[in-house]
Structure formats: structure tokens, C-alpha cells
Amino acid sequence: MISFVKKEFYSIEDLLNIMQILRSEEGCPWDREQNHETIKKDFVEEVYEAIEAIDLKDTDLLREELGDVLLQIVFHCQIEAEVNGFSFDDVCDEICKKLITRHPHVFSDVDVSGTDEVLKNWDNIKKETKGQETYTDTLKSVAKSLPALMRAQKVGKRAMRAGMDFKGYDDTVSCIKSELSELEEAIKSGNTDSIEDELGDLLFSCVNTARHLNIDAEEALNKAIEKFIKRFEETEKIIRLKGIDMKSLSIDEIDDYWREAKRKLI
């Protein structure tokens, strides 16, 4: 049994020590077997659970979920430390230097007029430090692992900074109509590749509309999903109270109950 002194209150140093123990020969077999690839999905899940805690305005849950996110960071750092890659201290050092470099209006003598200028300076410094020589480089640097809606919105925003954008949301709505028409033509053709291509263009146009209306496309879709689930639940409840199995109904009959459910939830 490993000698470990339990405490009333633990610090980041304790967390680093615990992770080192878990990855040791005397530690946990599961923890020892993991690598960056095997736990990367856990990282994503923990971040989303932290976001959900924020949406729920649940402070206790947020504290717990942030701990889970921190654990993932420490886990990845320990994996690297074992092969002399980098340590947790190296990660802290790099982010501190990045914050100092990208806030010259705080840590140097640069004057800014407000938030807009702060963001402009941030982007310019980021391009310089990352060696991004063209506007295309900034678009390519948006992580491909992001959810597609989020990635599309970031790419559109960066294209806007290069001067390539719609004049306003009216133009984006017109683009939606145009892309919808092209999708309908593709569907008529029966060409799967063409349908996929046009559907992607339509979705991208919807994201551009969201951006011009200052709406987060990812959040908007999530809210639509939650609304659908609530309406589905109410529809099923109405049908079950009548002693009917949903699957036995036609789609037209279900639509009638769906409209009734919508009226109840207004």
C-alpha cells in the first residue's frame, strides 16, 4: 500500500502528486494504460459538463466539473512528464507568457481606447506569434476538432476581419434562400455527393446569418433541440393519457397531437 497522508484540504501540488501516484507501478492499472488519444474524449466531455453547470447556474456543480477539467489537464501533463516532454509547470509558464504578451495595454505601455482595440491588438499579436502570414492561415488555424457550427462561425468571423463578408443579415438571408433552392435541385438530381455539398452550403449560410445577428449558432441549435425534446415529451404524454402507443399512429395523427402540445407549452 502506498504511503499517502490524507488532508482536510488539498492544493494543486497534491493533485499533481496524486496523478503521479496513480500513473506509477504501485498505482492504478487503468490510469497507467491511458495515453493522450485514449482520454481525449473524456476531456471534451468534462468541458461540456462544465458548460452545462454554467448554463444551469449551479455553482456547486461548476466547482466539481472544473475539478474534472483540471484533472484532465494534469493527466495529460503527467503523460508528457514521463517521457520528458513537458510538465504542468511548463504549461503554466507558457500561458502566463502568452497573457503578458497579448495584454501590452496592461503589462506594457500600449494605450487602447476600449474593448474593440484590445481585440484588434490581440488578433495582430496572435498572428505574429503564431507565424500566420496570410488571412488564409488564420482560417486554417481554427481547430478542425471543434463542433462544426462553432468552427463555421469562427471561420466566418475571421474571414470578416480580412474584409470578406456579407453587407448585412439581409444578404445572408438571401443566401439561405439561394442555397435552399440549390439543395432542392440537388435532391431532384438524386446525386448524394451533390446533396451533401448543397446541404453543407445551406448550413454554413445559416451560421453566417446567426453571426450577423449576433447569435451563437451552437447555442441556438441547442436551444432548438431542448425545445423539441420538451414538445416531444408533451406530445407523448398527451398520447399516452389516451392509452395509445405513439408508434401505432400515422405521422399526420402525431402532428395533430404535436400542435396540441405546442399550444399547451405556449
Name the region of 190 (left: φ>0; alpha: ψ -120 to 50; beta: rest).
left
Residue 162 lies in a domain: no
Tens-place pLDDT, residues 196-227: 999 999 999 999 999 999 999 999 999 999 99
Residue 24 lies in a domain: yes
pLDDT of 128 reads: 85
CA–CA separation, 77 and 56 (whole Å): 30
In the chain, the number of structural domains is 2
CA–CA separation, 58 and 47 (whole Å): 15
Q: How many CB atoms lie within 10 A of CB 248?
A: 8
CA–CA separation, 99 and 97 (whole Å): 6
pLDDT band at 116 (very low <50, low <70, confident <90, very high): confident
Q: What is the dihedral of CA 236, 237, 242, 246, to 10 degrees?
A: 10
Q: Which residue, of 49, 71, 86, is where some domain finishes?
A: 86
Residue 163 lies in a domain: no
Q: Which three cell numbers stand for residue 109?
A: 505601455
- pLDDT of 79 over the 80 cut: yes
71-74 contacts at long range (C-beta below 8 A, 24 or more positions apart): 71/15, 71/19, 71/46, 72/39, 72/42, 72/43, 72/46, 74/15, 74/16, 74/19
Residue 17 lies in a domain: yes
pLDDT of 109 reads: 87
Name the region of 134 (left: φ>0; alpha: ψ -120 to 50; beta: rest).
beta
Q: Give me the residue label for grid cell 494504460.
A: 33
pTM over 0.85: no
- pLDDT of 69 over the 90 cut: yes
Tens-place pLDDT, residues 13-30: 999 999 999 999 999 999
Residue 114 lies in a domain: no
Q: What residue numbers bound the domain in which 234 lies? A: 220-265
CA–CA separation, 153 and 118 (whole Å): 21
Q: Which residue, of 55, 86, 117, is where some domain finishes?
A: 86
CA–CA separation, 153 and 159 (whole Å): 10
* Beta-carbon contacts of residue 233 (< 8 Å; ≥ 6 apart): none
CATH number of the domain residue 64 falls in: 1.10.287.1080
- pLDDT of 230 over the 90 cut: yes
- pLDDT of 172 over the 90 cut: yes
Q: Which residue, of 30, 53, 86, is where some domain finishes?
A: 86
- Across 81-98, average pLDDT: 97
Distances (CA, A) of 32 to 53, 79, 129: 30, 9, 36
The mean pLDDT of the chain is 94
Residue 205 lies in a domain: no
Residue 32 lies in a domain: yes
- pLDDT of 247 over the 90 cut: yes
Residue 95 lies in a domain: no
pLDDT of 121 reads: 85
